[in-house]
Chains A and B, each alone.
Chain A
Amino acid sequence: MQIPNLVLATAASAAPSGGSSSILLKLATVDYAILAIYFAFVIGIGWVLKRYLKTSSDYFESGRSLPAWICALGFIGANLGAQEVMGMAASGAKYGISTSHFYWIGAIPAMVFVGIFMMPFYYGSKARSVPEYLKLRFDEKTRTFNALTFAVMTVFSSGISMHALALLLNATLSSSIPWLNYHVCIAFSGIIVLVYIYTGGLTSAIYNEVIQFFLIVLGFAPLVYLGLKDVGGWDGMMTKLGLYSNAQGMPGAWSHSWAHMGSATSNPMGVEWFGLAMGLGFVLSFGYWCTDFLVIQRAMAAKDMNSARRTPIIAAIPKMLFPALVILPGMIAIALVQQGGDSINLPTTPGGETDFNMVVPALLAKYFPTGMLGLGLTALMASFMSGMAGNVTAFNTVWTYDLYHNHINPKATDSDLVRMGRLTTVVGLLISAGAAYTAREFNNIMDMLQLVFGFVNAPLFAAFLLGMFWRRSTGHGAFYGLLTGTVSAMIFHGLTLPAAGTATGIKGGWIGVQHTFTSSMAQNFWMAIFAFVGCFIATVIISLATKANKTDDELRGLVYSLTPKTKDESAAWYARPATLGAIVLACTVVLNVIFW
């Protein structure tokens, strides 16, 4: 659920509109063969795993039996949805190397933090989900609030991925496959995900995420290689980006990540360094990577505490290098545009601007012959489906454990829970399909939902931070703190606009415009900062004003100061989370300096 607007933007781009020259991919028999073999394997894995699933723990938690490297690739694979592959390429074109902030500031520090400091509480508490941890640490109302909002968000996110995939396939393949309309795409993607989650549970989802990870790497690496070769290598691309930056009135802004962050008006993101570091690098990034059950669930499937702690840190290594795979295509597209002629054929939006959301399909059509085109398209579909599957597995776990077992049928047996999990998978995908059709018919409703998700997500990390590191925080403090943070975000949104000339309404300013930002990204980052501060202050004040609802004994294993520190001395240096984390952070600092 990170930067979900990119998914909607991608979906909107793939939709038929008043723009020009859509991208058509012409497939041959060899391409269909690769697609068919991949889908056969995806379904086959779920089918084979079915015989090993005996208990609800097997179905929802992989029996807590998986090695760290599999959980780590699942952790990153669940996040490799449409916004990563298509959205980041579009951002690479719009913002240049600055897009790497979503990785080197907006992901890696939080992934290291959750591995070293937070996984001991999630994994050690034996909680089966993040909302269940909130129940153990705070109280029932905080858990139910988090479970309900999370369940709604995951199922809608899955629907948006489904919608974007259907639009993309319809726009790029409908000329070569006449029967491939929107409805067929929705049904096909939904059924594939349904079969492998229904039969194989979380393990099937994680195994397929591992395969999807390698498929995306192997499918997009040659695209970057051919693109770079075409624009004259790295130096050739940088020269062309320099010319493009000059033409945009921001010299050097596309080829540096930090050098132009001094002022919001001197870089294409429209964000200044403090808003970026605090809004994206702290509040939004830690709020997503440290509290979102979609990714935490993968780490909780690990076979022991050390593996659970290493999961997000190992995942941070490929995550750190991913800009080379997903941002570079966008920068290559800009270099090709600068090259002129018929170097690249990008469609235009109804407003007449170049549509960078279609960079990846355009590069696939340009550089991949039949055969490789099948591999590239399979990788693209895998990215959409891993996003859907990740959301569905998180949804069925939270619904079954936190809502069904907790409120509807507390006496449910273990086999009842597995049955409910499978039924929830079916229902979740049906609701996702409904959300996809809603997005198709009423795009404004989805914009509104994304906005509400933003209000709810922004303050989350403050509640978790205080819960884990301040034993005096109480259930009332956390619950009303979260509500205060959400209201703070709404008020902030109502008082600000993302850019001069923007109409008040869904973009903000609906209370009265007190401040106008240079971009919607800046508005989002600052809204997150205000929500975090609102939640933090309210939680502290209300906690101090209310009686502690948990004894120290009840909080052992849930709060930092009351939990014995995990000893890693016996493990080899590369198996120690703190050592691994320090190496990853050092590499991230080096990357930031190199591309300063």
Chain B
Amino acid sequence: MNLDVRLPMGLLFAIIGIILLVHGFTADQAIYDNHSLGININARWGGVILAFGAFMLFLSRKKKS
């Protein structure tokens, strides 16, 4: 197959990670106090997901033969 699954997967998780990061830094702190024990889980986990997506994109790059 000519489509490397890591390319769409990396792209998807990079986009989701960026969305969560942006939301994490712009949303009211109150939503974290009410839900995630006061932890800004969107920003923290968004960063992890963005890193995972970027790593997948790195692995999917075409190697020069």
Interface residues of A (CB under 8 A from B): 30, 33-34, 37-38, 41, 44-45, 48-49, 52, 62-63, 65-66, 70, 203, 207, 210-211, 214, 218, 222, 226, 229-230, 366-372, 375
Contact = CB atoms under 8 A, between A and B. Distances in A.
Interface in B1-44: 1-3, 5, 8-9, 11-13, 15-16, 19-20, 23-24, 27, 31-32, 34-37, 39, 41-42
A371 B20 contact: yes
Q: Which 7 residue pairs are nearest across A and B when measured between Cβ atoms?
A: A369-B31, A369-B35, A371-B42, A371-B23, A207-B5, A41-B12, A30-B23
Nearest to A368: B35
B49 interface: yes
Contacts of B52: 214, 218
Nearest to A53: B1
A375 B35 contact: no
The B contact surface, by secondary structure, is helix
Contact of A34 (B5, B16, B34, B35): B16
Nearest to B48: A218
A369 B8 contact: no
A127 B52 CA distance: 37
Nearest to B42: A371
16 contacts: A34-B16, A37-B19, A45-B3, A52-B3, A207-B8, A211-B9, A214-B52, A222-B41, A226-B37, A368-B41, A369-B34, A369-B36, A370-B23, A375-B16, A375-B20, A375-B49
B45 to A, nearest CB: 5
Counting contact residues on chain B (CB < 8 A from A), the size range is: 20 to 34
Chain B CB within 10 A, most for which of A44, A66, A203, A222? A222
A104 B10 CA distance: 31
B49 to A, nearest CB: 6
Nearest to A48: B3
Contacts of A44: 8
A544 to B, nearest CB: 47
B45 A372 contact: yes
Contact of B36 (A34, A218, A226): A226
Contact of A214 (B9, B31, B41): B9
Given A34-B16, A218-B52, A226 B41 contact: yes
Given A30-B19, A52-B1, A229 B9 contact: no
B36 A367 contact: yes
Interface of B: 1-3, 5, 8-9, 11-13, 15-16, 19-20, 23-24, 27, 31-32, 34-37, 39, 41-42, 45-46, 48-49, 52
Given A34-B19, A37-B16, A211-B9, 5 more contacts: A30-B19, A49-B3, A372-B20, A372-B41, A372-B45
B5 A210 contact: yes
Contacts of B23: 30, 370-371
A215 B15 CA distance: 13
A370 B19 contact: no
Nearest to B33: A369
Nearest to A49: B3
A37 B16 CA distance: 8
A230 B23 CA distance: 24
A579 B45 CA distance: 36
B19 to A, nearest CB: 6
A37 B15 contact: yes
A211 B6 CA distance: 9
A370 B20 CA distance: 9
A368 B27 CA distance: 14
Contacts of A65: 1
A437 B7 CA distance: 38
A370 B12 CA distance: 19
A226 B34 CA distance: 13
A367 B34 CA distance: 8
Nearest to A65: B1
B36 A52 contact: no
A133 to B, nearest CB: 25
A211 B27 contact: no
Residue from the set A33, A218, A230 with the largest chain B CB neighbour count within 10 Å: A218
Contacts of B32: 369
Contacts of B34: 369
Interface centre among A48, A207, A368, A369, by most chain B C-beta atoms within 10 angstroms, is A369
B8 A45 contact: yes
B49 A218 contact: yes
Nearest to A230: B37
A341 to B, nearest CB: 15
A271 to B, nearest CB: 37
A48 B1 CA distance: 11
A229 B16 contact: no
Contact of A33 (B3, B19, B24, B42): B19
Residue among A65, A222, A372 with the highest chain B CB neighbour number at 10 A: A372
